[in-house]
């Protein structure tokens, strides 16, 4: 059976966080890409703090994965955009709940603004179905 593989080459520095340098998707896998998930609650409210938005964003990521019958195993790439410095002590426990064993490849960027002025974080998921 073909599967998604994740590696960190021995001749490279170890990742600085819980992610993989390389995620290989087998030929013929299906691709599912989500829109960037943001920190709104079910009523569309946007909390003012980054940490509250992070909590909501991860809840929304879990829901969007579940809506497609996907799990952490299917996530191959995560792009994170934030408008202020991320509190990693808050984000990593959320990350650990979603990605318990399969760390996808990841990019983090600090930018000046997102689609709405109130938004402080947006996270996009790339997934493969094998």
How large is the average pLDDT for residues 37-44? Answer: 96
pTM of the model: 0.90
Q: Which domains are present in the chain?
A: 5-129 (3.30.1330.40)
Tokens found for residue 27 = 């030929």
How large is the average pLDDT for residues 36-56? Answer: 97
* pLDDT of 60 above 90: yes
* pLDDT of 1 above 70: no
How large is the average pLDDT for residues 56-64? Answer: 97
Distance CA 113, CA 95 (A): 23
* pLDDT of 2 above 90: no
Q: What's the pLDDT score for residue 50? A: 98
Residue 118 DSSP code: T
* pLDDT of 51 above 70: yes
> What average pLDDT does the chain have?
95
Banded model confidence at residue 76, pLDDT cuts 50, 70, 90: very high
User: Of 1-5, 45-49, 51-55, 116-120, which range is least confident?
Assistant: 1-5
Q: Collapse the DSSP code of 111 into the 3-class scheme (helix H, G, I; strand E, B; otherwise coil) and give the result.
A: coil
Residue 9 DSSP code: -
Measured over all CA atoms, what is the biggest interatomic distance in the chain, rounded to whole angstroms? 48
Q: What's the pLDDT score for residue 101? A: 85
Banded model confidence at residue 17, pLDDT cuts 50, 70, 90: confident
């Amino acid at each position: 059976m073909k599967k998604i593989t994740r590696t960190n080459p021995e001749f490279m520095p170890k990742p600085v966080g819980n992610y993989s340098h390389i995620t290989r998707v087998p030929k013929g896998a299906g691709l599912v890409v989500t829109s960037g998930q943001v920190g709104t609650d079910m009523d569309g409210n946007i909390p003012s703090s980054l940490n509250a938005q992070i909590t909501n964003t991860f809840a929304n990521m879990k829901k969007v994965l579940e809506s497609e019958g996907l799990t952490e195993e299917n996530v191959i790439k995560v792009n994170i955009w934030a408008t202020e410095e991320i509190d990693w002590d808050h984000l990593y426990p959320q990350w650990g709940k979603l990605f318990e064993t399969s760390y996808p490849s990841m990019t983090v960027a600090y930018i000046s603004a997102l689609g709405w002025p109130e938004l402080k974080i947006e996270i996009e998921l790339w997934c493969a179905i094998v």
